[in-house]
């Protein structure tokens, strides 16, 4: 029994761009471009009438933008795979496209080399971005996470921060209590408050978290 072909719609207001993609996609036996559209309204009509598995969309369209189209399509057809192929710089639009519902982003200058690779990756259930963009987004996520953690650390009381620092040095409640001249119970109360603020469950998690936070802070 022959494997069912993946059915594509191409949405781009440049006929030459569509023609190139049609040739590229149809050259793969398992894929078939069954429809083309030059604007979002036309694309919505086609997808409502035909069974489409995968949409390749440009961001710059006359009338409704590609991003608006992606949002509408994903709301109505959540199983539809969407790849953005655009002339716009990925550093400006890739993350926004993914947030809107796209499964991948390629700049047109890269399309001929990467589009089939991107399609296969998306069909396997993964997001597709260039290596440069993946690293950029990963760094952005790490910075956001560090910023969120730092804001919580800033909300620790002076005594909590002092204990947090001593925990990072490997001290247990008894040693901390002796150093600060307070009771072990007081130290444990502060330590529990710190765990709650960082959403941590155990003393071990808190110690590892504290060590890593001060290590990253010193870089």
Q: What are the pLDDT tens digits along the chain (219 aa)?
A: 456 889 999 999 888 888 888 988 998 889 999 999 999 999 999 999 999 999 999 988 888 889 999 999 999 999 999 999 888 766 677 888 888 898 988 887 776 668 888 899 999 998 888 766 666 666 655 565 655 556 667 778 888 888 988 998 888 889 999 988 999 999 999 999 988 888 888 888 888 888 887 877 655
98 lies in the same domain as 177: no
131 lies in the same domain as 23: yes
72 lies in the same domain as 126: yes
pTM, two decimals, is 0.62
For residue 1, what pLDDT is reported?
A: 47
Is residue 140 assigned to a domain? no
Alpha-carbon distance of 30 to 23, in angstroms, equals 13
Is residue 193 assigned to a domain? yes
79 lies in the same domain as 167: no
Is residue 148 assigned to a domain? no
Strands 6-11 and 54-57: parallel
75 lies in the same domain as 11: yes
Contact in structure between 57 and 11 (CB atoms under 8 Å): yes
Contact in structure between 82 and 97 (CB atoms under 8 Å): no
Q: Which CATH number characterizes residue 206's domain?
A: 1.10.10.10
11 lies in the same domain as 87: yes
91 lies in the same domain as 12: yes
Domain count, the chain: 2
70 lies in the same domain as 19: yes
125 lies in the same domain as 164: no
Which of 76, 107, 135 is a domain's end point?
Answer: 135
3 state SS for the chain: CCCCCEEEEEECCCHHHHHHHHHHHHCCCCEEEEEEECCHHHHHHHHHHCCCCEEEECCCCCCCCHHHHHHHHHHHCCCCEEEEEECCCHHHHHHHHHHHCCCEEEEHHHHHHHHHHHHHHHHCCCCECCHHHHHHHHHHHHHHHHHHHHHHHHCCCHHHHHHHHHHHCCCCHHHHHHHHCCCHHHHHHHHHHHHHHCCCCCHHHHHHHHHHHHHHHCC
Is residue 144 assigned to a domain? no
- The parent domain of residue 35 ranges over 6-135
67 lies in the same domain as 168: no
90 lies in the same domain as 174: no
34 lies in the same domain as 101: yes
For residue 34, what pLDDT is reported?
A: 94
Q: Phi/psi of residue 58, each to 5°?
A: -90, 150
- 52, 120, 54: which is closest to 81 by C-alpha? 54
């Amino acid at each position: 029994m022959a494997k069912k072909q993946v059915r594509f719609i191409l949405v781009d207001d440049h006929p030459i761009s569509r023609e190139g993609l049609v040739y590229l996609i149809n050259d793969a036996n398992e894929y078939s471009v069954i429809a083309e559209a030059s604007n979002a309204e036309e694309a919505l009509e086609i997808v409502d009438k035909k069974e489409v598995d995968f949409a390749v969309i440009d961001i710059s369209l006359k009338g409704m933008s590609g991003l608006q189209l992606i949002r509408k399509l994903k709301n109505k057809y959540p199983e539809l795979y969407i790849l953005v192929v655009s002339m716009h710089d990925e550093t400006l639009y890739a993350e926004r496209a993914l947030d809107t519902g796209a499964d991948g982003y390629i700049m047109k200058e890269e399309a001929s080399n990467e589009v089939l690779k991107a399609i296969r990756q998306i069909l396997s259930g993964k997001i597709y971005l260039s290596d440069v963009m993946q690293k950029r987004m990963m760094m952005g996520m790490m910075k956001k996470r560090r910023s969120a953690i730092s804001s919580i650390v800033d909300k620790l009381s002076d005594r909590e921060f002092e204990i947090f620092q001593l925990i990072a040095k490997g001290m247990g409640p008894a040693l901390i209590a002796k150093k600060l001249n307070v009771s072990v119970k007081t130290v444990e109360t502060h330590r529990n408050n710190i765990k709650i603020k960082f959403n941590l469950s155990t003393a071990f998690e808190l110690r590892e978290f504290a060590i890593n936070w001060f290590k990253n802070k010193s870089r």
